[in-house]
Amino acid sequence: MSGLAEPSSGTKPIYVLNGPNLNLLGEREPEVYGRTTLAQIGERVSARAGTFGLSVEFRQSNSEAELIGWLQEARHESCGVVLNAAGLTHTSVALLDAARALGRPLIEVHLSNPYAREEYRRHSFVSEAATGVICGFGAQGYLFAIDHLAQLAKSPNG
């Protein structure tokens, strides 16, 4: 999935990157992750970013290597990143290393609250490199992240 083209103002897009199994949103464990599909989240995120005059590059992959490649691309092509690394959040030092090299604001998003779930979900490698973490608000968390990154992108020091 790709978002909108870069606006004429020259502001780079916000990358919204989604990890493994998020392509199954709306079908997989709706009692935990909700019934909103990833495509619906992508539409809402693009619309919200548009209200700030920003565009979004919205992507999903089940591949750790592809997510790392996109984070590396975002170093030069984005004004910031929203990352829902899904299960890789709790396992991937390589994703952490790519996030540390980003040089852009990174907001970690989780649909559910990992701290109210299994013990192994309570540690996030990604958090060590994140500007902020939003969890437990369902699909709305993505919009909170867009709001924050838009504020940063529009600030004189952003």
**CATH number of the domain residue 108 falls in:** 3.40.50.9100
pLDDT at 11: 87
Domain assignment of residue 5, yes or no: no
Please determine, for residue 155, whether its predicted confidence score (pLDDT) is greater than 80: no
Say which residue the tokens 């909108």 belong to: 4
For the record, the structure tokens of 152 come out as 């940063």
What SS3 string covers the chain?
Answer: CCCCCCCCCCCCCEEEEECCCHHHCCCCCHHHHCCCCHHHHHHHHHHHHHHCCCCEEEEECCCHHHHHHHHHHHHHHCCEEEEECHHHHHCCHHHHHHHHCCCCCEEEEECCCHHHCCHHHHCCCHHHCCCEEEECCCCHHHHHHHHHHHHHHHCCCC
Given a cut of 60, is residue 1 above it in pLDDT? no
33 is catalytic: yes
Predicted local confidence at residue 86, as pLDDT: 94
DSSP 61: -
Give residue 156's pLDDT: 64
The number of distinct structural domains making up the chain is 1
- Asked whether residue 2 is assigned to any structural domain, the reply reads no
Please check the confidence at residue 112 and state whether its pLDDT lies above 50.
Answer: yes
Average pLDDT value for the chain: 89
Q: Is residue 149 part of a domain?
A: yes
Of the candidates 146, 137, 152, 132, which has an alpha carbon nearest to the alpha carbon of residue 48? 146
Instruction: Please report whether residue 135 resides in a domain.
Output: yes
Q: How confident is the model at residue 121 (pLDDT cuts 50, 70, 90)?
A: low
- For residue 139, the enclosing domain spans 14-85+94-154
Task: Tell me the per-residue pLDDT of 123-149, one tens digit each, with 9 for 90 and over.
Answer: 789 999 999 999 999 999 999 999 999
> Is pLDDT of 19 > 50?
yes
Residue 8 lies in a domain: no
Percent of the chain at pLDDT exceeding 70: 90
Name the active-site residue from 15, 90, 110, 148. 110
Q: pLDDT tens digits for 58-93?
A: 999 999 999 999 999 999 999 999 999 999 998 999
Query: Does residue 127 belong to any structural domain of this protein?
Result: yes
| pLDDT at residue 152 greater than cutoff 50 | yes
